[in-house]
Amino acid sequence: MKITYREALRLGLREALARDERVFLMGEDVGRYGGTYAVSKGLLAEFGPERVRDAPLSELAFVGAGIGAALGGMRPIVEVMTVNFSLLPLDQIVNTAAILRHMSGGQFAVPLVIRMATGAGRQLAAQHSHSFEGWYAHIPGIKIAAPATIDDAHGMLGAALADGNPVLVFEYPALFETTGELSAEAIDIAHAKVRRQGTRVTLVAYGNCVPKALQAADRLAEEGINAEVVDLRVLRPLDMDTVLASVRKTRRAVVVDDGWRSGGLSAEIMARVMEQAFYDLDAPVARVCREEVPIPYARHLEEAALPQADKIVAAVKGLFQ
């Protein structure tokens, strides 16, 4: 069955709501409006306003309420419309959801899923184009899922709900119209995946940079460089085994990160490769990141600020000079 990324997300939500009556969806415009990105369209009619619950523009309170409801025996899916607005409930995410279990001596689990759209590329300017997955991946106690494929868009929500920990699922509007076959493959939130086999360089990417990395790999292949593409899928905990296995094979790596360079996730991955596979490398690890600017509105400037296939190609070629 060929479906879009958006439909895959919706199918995942519908299945989660149908499977377990403790599950409910809560957020701004998730019900009557049908979801800002039409992801939850139709779910209100199917599951009713108690379980597809429109919330006021009170991200701090309804994310905190999601934590309380999870502790109180429910399995909430809280939608924060976009990552940009997730800075408002950051306190509840960091100071409660992430630390409650450890700080209480292991007494409480917080089985909460927080979904949010992330990333740039749609000319929405600086306040609507952030990519904070890497920030969130800094925090122990939460897990970070970044679905880049149809199967992951469909299956990661169920895996997140089954996990029993607070999980942030980042969805990519830039990918919402992409289509693909839905497979019967079991989806976890524990492992990275090789999306394209290659021999000479490893491209490490996640989320909306995965298609860019694949595009770059196609172009590199035309020039005789066979690139392997690793989709991290889960940004915390990081599956370094898969990354390192690939790097040890190809002996070169380029990390592609939609976040800013300084103190970012790319730096963490490069550091771990250096710590664990330094002597397997034939060249220093390189990276392609978001330029260190707020994302501008004008299309040409926005494109220049983001990781693109040609920048990845250039970075790879740099490793062979």
Partner 1 sequence: MSTPIPPPPSGPVPYPPEKSIALLTDMLRIRRLEEKCAELYGAGKIRGFLHLYIGEEAVATGAMRALLPVDSVVATYREHGHALLKGVAMTRIMAEMFGKKEGCSRGRGGSMHLFDAATRFYGGNAIVGGGLPLAVGFGLAAKMRGEERVTACFFGDGAVAEGAFHESMNLAALWRLPVAFFCENNFYAMGTAIARYEAQTDLCAKAASYGMEAFPVDGMDVVAVHEGAKRAREHAMASGPVFVEFRTYRFRAHSMFDPDLYRDKSEIEQWKTRGPIHTFSARLKAQGDLTEERFLEIDAEVAGEVDAAVAFAEAGSWEPVEDLAKDVYAP
Q: Which of these is catalytic: 7, 28, 59, 268?
A: 59
Enter the tokens of residue 310.
């040609």
Candidates 123, 122, 111, 181; CA nearest to 153 is 181
Nearest to partner 1 of 61, 125 (CB atom): 61
Unique residue bearing structure tokens 């034939």? 282
CB of 234 to partner 1, least distance (A): 13
What CA–CA distance (Å, rounded) separates 30 from 80?
10
Give catalytic status of residue 79 as yes or no.
Answer: no
Give catalytic status of residue 128 as yes or no.
Answer: yes
Q: Is 251 exposed, middle or buried (0-12, 13-18, 19+ CB in 10 A)?
A: middle
- List contacts with partner 1 (CB under 8 A): 24, 50, 55-56, 58, 60-74, 76, 91-92, 95-96, 100-109, 111, 140-141, 143, 163-165
Q: Is the peptide bond before 147 cis (omega within 30 degrees of 0)?
A: no
Nearest to partner 1 of 113, 286 (CB atom): 113
CB of 220 to partner 1, least distance (A): 38
Nearest to partner 1 of 56, 224 (CB atom): 56
Q: Which of these is catalytic: 128, 130, 171, 228?
A: 128
CB of 106 to partner 1, least distance (A): 4
Enter the tokens of residue 96.
């409660």
CB of 57 to partner 1, least distance (A): 9
Q: Is 241 exposed, middle or buried (0-12, 13-18, 19+ CB in 10 A)?
A: exposed
Instruction: State the Rg of the chain over Cα.
Output: 19
Nearest to partner 1 of 141, 158 (CB atom): 141
Catalytic positions are 59, 128
